[in-house]
Amino acid sequence: MKEFGDGRIQPSAAAASRGNARPTVLYIGGAHRSGTTLLGRMLGEVEGLIFVGELDRWRFNIAEGRLCGCRQPLEACEFWAEVGRCSFGEWHRPEVRARLQGTKTLKRRQLSGALLGYPGKKTQRIADGHASLLEPVVQAIHNVSGGKVIVDTSKTPMVLAALGRLPQVDVKLVHIVRDPRGVAYSRGKKRLLEPGVFHWRISPQRASLHWSFDNLAFDAMRARGTVGDRLRYEDLVVDPQAEMERLLPALGFNAGGLDFIKGSEVTLGLSHSLSGNPMRFNEGPIQLRLDDEWRGKLEALRRLEVTALTWPLLRRYGYVQPTPNRPA
């Protein structure tokens, strides 16, 4: 494929030879502030994979004039402009804008019913509406990228549920977990995502409940047949080479071509990504380090609250053992 930013994008010969090959979405799920953007960016450096960030956010990003990972507004980014032409004709068409703004998002309480086998008509209707928006965009990204596997870091189990309703899309899950006390501490801080856009704080109690629900939902989806694997943020940062070499074959991908990893340093190229951690804008060598600031700065009472609220999954994921084991 032509490099994005070098004239109009044309599908590569390899993409044309694949004909109507089904798109594959490699979905990275996990609680907010669990390292999904880091993992997505690393996977996006692997041959045959393309990192697009939080695919669920594309309709809001278009409407709000947000930036692509290449630092251009989405409508000015050649990659996303071509995706828009291939999916809906043009992003700025009034009927497209109306459809994007009128589609509701599946909520946690609705997904919980679906996972228990009681989806209800309203939940099915919302999920179908969401899926109908995602399908043409997924197909367009597949075509524009030359048939690459799409790495989506939308995080939430609700989006994975919607993607799972698309019969023409293959979906695989990477479930990344992080110590909930680190998540709660991080979500208690206001963070600048891009100029003028902030990720607001939430309480440790609310962060704990979100962490528990989302991780339980991903466990349930894997138990019900979603193909995937799980890893921990802490393991990824401490030994990125080993984790990528373990993860890729487990997902059916070749673990070669990891020369962008040198010890604890990863070298990242340009990304065309939506939303997420500001590191989606970074290019060049990045030194990975374990973000465990919470150990010294999370108040003792707050730490106790988070530990109590998340205790069953803390044990399940190995966060209360002296020498944590990698979760199955």
pLDDT at 65: 75
Q: What would the pLDDT profile of 199-244 be if each residue is shown by its tens digit?
A: 678 999 999 999 999 999 999 989 888 999 999 999 999 999 999 9
SS3 27: strand
286, 326, 290: which is closest to 45 by C-alpha?
286
Dihedral (C-alpha) 9, 14, 15, 18: value to the nearest 10 degrees? Answer: 170
d(CA 101, CA 319): 41
Worst-scoring range by mean pLDDT, 76-85, 89-98, 170-179?
89-98
d(CA 232, CA 219): 14
Q: What would the pLDDT profile of 120-175 be if each residue is shown by its tens digit?
A: 777 777 777 778 888 999 999 999 999 999 999 999 888 888 888 899 999 999 99
306, 50, 38, 235: which is closest to 155 by C-alpha?
38
Residue 300's CB is within 10 A of a number of other CB atoms, namely: 7
Worst-scoring range by mean pLDDT, 4-8, 77-81, 92-96, 194-198?
4-8
d(CA 190, CA 192): 7
Per domain, the residue ranges of the chain are 20-316
Residue 80 amino acid letter: W
pLDDT at 328: 47
Given its phi and psi angles, is residue 275 left (phi above 0), alpha (psi -120 to 50 degrees) or beta?
left
pLDDT at 199: 67
DSSP state of 147: S
Q: Across the chain, which distance is largest between two alpha carbons, in Å?
A: 60
155, 135, 121, 142: which is closest to 40 by C-alpha?
155
Residue 161: phi and psi, rounded to 5, are: -60, -40
pLDDT reading at 248 higher than 80? yes
CATH topology of domain 20-316: Rossmann fold (3.40.50)
